[in-house]
Structure formats: C-alpha cells, structure tokens
Chain A
C-alpha cells in the first residue's frame, strides 16, 4: 500500500491496515523469520499460531517497530514503519508477551503516561484513561500501584495501554496468558468487540481461543508462513464431514459402518465414536432413525470441530510425531 492513499484510507471499510511484505529476520546465522507476507484488514481478528520458537514473537515485534526486519517491509495504516515511524506507530497498539508495566506507578499514572506517549493531548488524557479503564474492567483500580495488582489485572492494564489511543491496529502477543477462566472469557469478549472497528493480530498457544475470537488464522512454522485462511473455510481443506456421537448403549462399530453414506467409524471412547460421513448422503438421518428405533441412547451429537488442531499438527509436525503431540499443543 502506498503513502498516496493515506488520506482516504479511513473512509473505506475494508482497507488493509497491516501489510507485511516478505519480511525476514536473522539472529546471527539463525533465520527466525523467513520471507513472511500477509495483510490484515479492518474488521479482521487474525489468530497467529505456531509452535514455540516458530518466529511469532519476532514477527510481532517487527510489525510493531520494536525490532527491525533484516529484509522486507511493514506498513501500518499505509505508513511504512521505518520511513514514517511516527505516523505508523500512532496507529498501533502493542501488547508484548511480557506486560510492559512500570510496577512502581499507579494505574492512572501509567495509563496517562502511555496516552501522552501515544500523542494524546494533555486535555484529552483524563477522558482517554477513563474510557480505556472502562473497556478493560479497571474501574476502581486507578489509584492502586500496578505492582500490587494481581496478574489478571496487570494483564488488563497492559491491554488498556494498547488501546488507549484507539489505534487502528492492535497487536496482542498472548493476551490471555496467566489469566483465570473468567478473565480469559472477558478478555476474549473485549477482543471480539475491538475487532469490529480495528484490525487485530493475536498470537496464542490456545487453539480453541482462535476458534472463539478470530475470523482468520495464519500458522507459522520454522519462520515460514504455512497457512493463511479464513476460519470458516478451514474445513474445506480436508473436505470432510465428521460428527462425534456418543451413545448410552452403543451399537457395534460394524453396525454403524454398514449404514450407507458412512465412510469410516472411529471408536474413540467407551461410548463415543467419530463418524465420517459422506456430505451428499442422508447417513445422519439414518443414524438418528436407528438410535430411536434401537434405543442406542444417543446423548451427544456434535460436528467434529478440532480440524484447526489437526491442521495445525499436520502443518507443524512430522507424521511420526503426531501420536504424542496433541497434549503438548492444546
């Protein structure tokens, strides 16, 4: 994206807010990021996945201007991060993996500093701090020292810091790390909310998190981009239609297998089966009919949704490693 169309870039609804073109980054002889390109548009919540050491954090730091790429360019809202750092970074909110907090300041002091640093004028700082605190559920903590807050509240303060200047682009490196389930839920809701008007790039280890908050996913492995897809198109890849069914009085797998349109039956538990169906057939109707007629006691029937996990493992692991792997990643 060139600098020429900066002026009207906010008028459009689906403009590209992050544009990463062929960036590489070397640490000495080691190439941490290798020729990665992607774009993020307004309204995108992009999940950024990869095993540890795949180059996620390096990529995010390059996009936010903390590191410089060895090769390639990054532009934020149309501004090149190296040629126009001030304009580019004014549109950027960044939450690093380790919260960038001054523990000896109070929440208000810290957020006021962040606001001033991001170029909010003195008269508007108080309003910006108030608004940001409200969005992150920090009401009533303004005068407390950050060092005395719990891990979850510290995480909220660092998210508040990233959104205080309502940037067009928000980059979050593992935003839900170290939070309890309620806090995780709240933060995810906040991210979804923010995603409506901003472009969000979010890295995480938690695959279900991507499925709940993101609409697009990219996977990076050994520094290279191996997948860039909208989540609702992910299953197209495998071309499968799999359901998970659980019965109180399970039939024999052979019985299920015999139904027309059932491709494979996988018994994954005492009462649970993974049934791969032919998308064109009425096999599911037949299964339901049989469970009613034969009293199999069907109590669970859900579309098999861990295709993201499978995709992830397929792309990031060799086949021989797959047996022991799922526990490590999820």
Chain B
C-alpha cells in the first residue's frame, strides 16, 4: 500500500515537472470555459428547442457532455508516457529491481494518473458550481454527472495505462489510445446496420451511453459497475503484460 502511494506521488510530481500537465489543464479549462459561456448564453436567451429544460439540464449536462469529449482527447497525452517512457529511458529497470510488486507498480501509476485527472475534474466542476452564487442547481444531477465524468476518466486512464505497457514509443501509445477510446466511444453508431441483438451489445459496450445516463441524472448502479469493470480489466491486463514481458521480452 505504501509503495503504491510512493509511486503515485512520484508520478504526479513528474507530471507537474513537465509543462505538459500545466498546459493540458489550462487548455482544457479554456476550451470548456468557452463552451460554458456559450451554454450559459443559450440559457439566458432560450430558443424554443430548450423549452421546458432547466439550468442544470442545459448548462451542466451540456458542459459535462463536452467535457467527456475533451477528456477523451487529452487522456492519451496523460497516459502515453506511463510505461512507454520508462521503458525507453531504462528507468523501468529501477522499478523492476525495487522491492515492489508489479501490482503495486501498476496501481501506483494508475493512482497518479487518476489523481491528475481528478485535479482536472475539480477545475471543470468549479464552473457549474459557480452558478450556485446566483441560482439553484439540481445538485443530484450535478453529482451524478461529476461521478460519471470521474468514472469515465478512470476507465480512459486504465485503457491508456494498458496501451502504454505495449510499446516503448510514447507517440505510438498516444495514437493507439486515442484510436481505442474513440472507437469505444462511437461503438453504438456502428451497430446501426446489424441485427437487434448485435446493436444492443454494441450500444452496451459504448462508453458514451453509460455516461449519458449519468449526466442526465439517472444513477444506475449498472453504469457505475460497467466503468469499474472496464478499469479493473485493463489494470489486470497491464499487470499480466508486464509480467509476461519479463519472461518473453
């Protein structure tokens, strides 16, 4: 447990040592602030299309919807260096020869990544929370939406973590992670031509559908479990992959 925290803290420290983390936080916040402004403007000047919808539904759900896409775009840049860079620079040998298990190593890296993404989440959450100064929000829906975003981040991070164990090139890891995340995101669109069963399976596997439920304020434990299973699966795959690498490199 101790080693997990040490590795996680180390990962965080290194992220903030590079300009990448700061720039990512700034760019994400800036882009989402623009969307926030647009959504707020739409709420202030309602069109018939928004009839019957409240502040939380228009601004908060809208913002979180866009946040999901932005997170999908930036997560590959957070996870790309996790193991790829360690392997390229040889620092992975320091970790492998230290008295920590592979499980601790992978969980530590995962903890560090998710902690960084939580900081990003907190910065995003500040925008809808600022609305509390002058209005009432549906805190239940906001809470469900933020939980959804957190789960989305956690599953993206696990997928990115696994892909970074596959290659020693950070750029390859980033592109591959982006491809996989995007594919999982749009999976349900592909089901349009198949049978009903096929469509249902693809729709269920799509990361997007479960997220949409949560930001609309529908808290279904199945959606939560879905993301936890995705995260756990890719963490276990990462551990297996590293173990196999020591034997078959």
Would you call A75 an interface residue if the criterion is a C-beta within 8 Å of the partner chain's C-beta atoms?
no
**Partner of B90 from A99, A109, A119 at Cβ < 8 Å:** A99
**Partner of B93 from A27, A96, A103, A105 at Cβ < 8 Å:** A96
Interface string of B82-104 (1 = CB under 8 A from A): 00000001111111111111000
**Partner of B98 from A27, A70, A89, A96 at Cβ < 8 Å:** A89
Inter-subunit contact B14/A96 (CB<8 Å): no
Would you call A156 an interface residue if the criterion is a C-beta within 8 Å of the partner chain's C-beta atoms?
no
Chain B residue total in the interface (Cβ 8 A) = 24
Inter-subunit contact B91/A104 (CB<8 Å): no
* Residues of chain B lying within 8 A (CB to CB) of residue A68: 246-247
* Residues of chain B lying within 8 A (CB to CB) of residue A119: 3, 99
Inter-subunit contact B99/A94 (CB<8 Å): no
Would you call B10 an interface residue if the criterion is a C-beta within 8 Å of the partner chain's C-beta atoms?
yes
**Partner of B10 from A94, A97, A113 at Cβ < 8 Å:** A113
In the complex, chain B residues 235-249 whose Cβ is within 8 Å of any chain A Cβ: 246-247, 249
A298 to chain B, nearest CB (A): 52
Inter-subunit contact A118/B98 (CB<8 Å): yes
Given A100-B90, A101-B91, A117-B3, decide whether A89 and B14 contact each other with a Cβ distance below 8 A. Answer: no
Specify which of B6, B91, B94 lies most central, judged by the most chain A CB atoms within 10 Å of its CB.
Answer: B94
Q: How far is the CA of A89 from the CA of B246 in the complex (A)?
A: 15
Given A67-B246, A85-B99, A89-B99, decide whether A104 and B93 contact each other with a Cβ distance below 8 A. Answer: no
B82 to chain A, nearest CB (A): 13
Total inter-chain residue pairs, C-beta < 8 Å: 81
User: Which chain A residue shows the least CB distance to B95?
Assistant: A117
Interface residues on A, range: 20 to 34
Interface string of B1-17 (1 = CB under 8 A from A): 00100110010011001
* Residues of chain B lying within 8 A (CB to CB) of residue A88: 99
Inter-subunit contact A94/B97 (CB<8 Å): yes
**Chain B binder among A48-56, A58-66, A135-143, A311-319:** A58-66
Q: How far is the CA of A100 from the CA of B90 in the complex (A)?
A: 5
* Residues of chain B lying within 8 A (CB to CB) of residue A109: 13
Inter-subunit contact B246/A114 (CB<8 Å): no
Would you call B193 an interface residue if the criterion is a C-beta within 8 Å of the partner chain's C-beta atoms?
no
Would you call A87 an interface residue if the criterion is a C-beta within 8 Å of the partner chain's C-beta atoms?
yes
In the complex, chain A residues 81-97 whose Cβ is within 8 Å of any chain B Cβ: 85-90, 92, 94, 96-97
In the complex, chain A residues 146-167 whose Cβ is within 8 Å of any chain B Cβ: 161
* Residues of chain A lying within 8 A (CB to CB) of residue B18: 104
Would you call A127 an interface residue if the criterion is a C-beta within 8 Å of the partner chain's C-beta atoms?
no
A89 to chain B, nearest CB (A): 4
* Residues of chain B lying within 8 A (CB to CB) of residue A85: 99, 101
* Residues of chain A lying within 8 A (CB to CB) of residue B89: 98, 100-103
* Residues of chain A lying within 8 A (CB to CB) of residue B246: 65-68
Would you call A116 an interface residue if the criterion is a C-beta within 8 Å of the partner chain's C-beta atoms?
yes
Q: How far is the CA of A61 from the CA of B14 in the complex (A)?
A: 26
Q: How far is the CA of A296 from the CA of B5 in the complex (A)?
A: 74
Inter-subunit contact A67/B99 (CB<8 Å): no
User: Which chain B residue shows the least CB distance to A69?
Assistant: B247
B220 to chain A, nearest CB (A): 41
Given A68-B247, A99-B90, A102-B91, decide whether A116 and B97 contact each other with a Cβ distance below 8 A. Answer: no
Chain A to chain B contacts (Cβ below 8 Å), 22 pairs: A64-B97, A65-B96, A66-B92, A66-B96, A66-B97, A67-B247, A67-B249, A85-B101, A87-B99, A89-B98, A92-B97, A96-B90, A98-B90, A100-B90, A100-B91, A100-B92, A100-B94, A102-B14, A113-B10, A114-B94, A117-B95, A117-B98
Which B residues are within 8 Å of any A CB, using their own CB? 3, 6-7, 10, 13-14, 17-18, 89-101, 246-247, 249
Q: A64-B93, A105-B17 are in contact. List 20 more A-B contacts (CB 8 A).
A: A27-B249, A65-B96, A66-B92, A66-B93, A70-B247, A85-B99, A87-B99, A94-B93, A94-B94, A96-B90, A100-B91, A100-B92, A101-B91, A104-B14, A104-B17, A105-B13, A117-B7, A117-B98, A118-B98, A118-B99
Which A residues are within 8 Å of any B CB, using their own CB? 27, 61, 64-68, 70, 85-90, 92, 94, 96-105, 109, 113-114, 116-119, 161
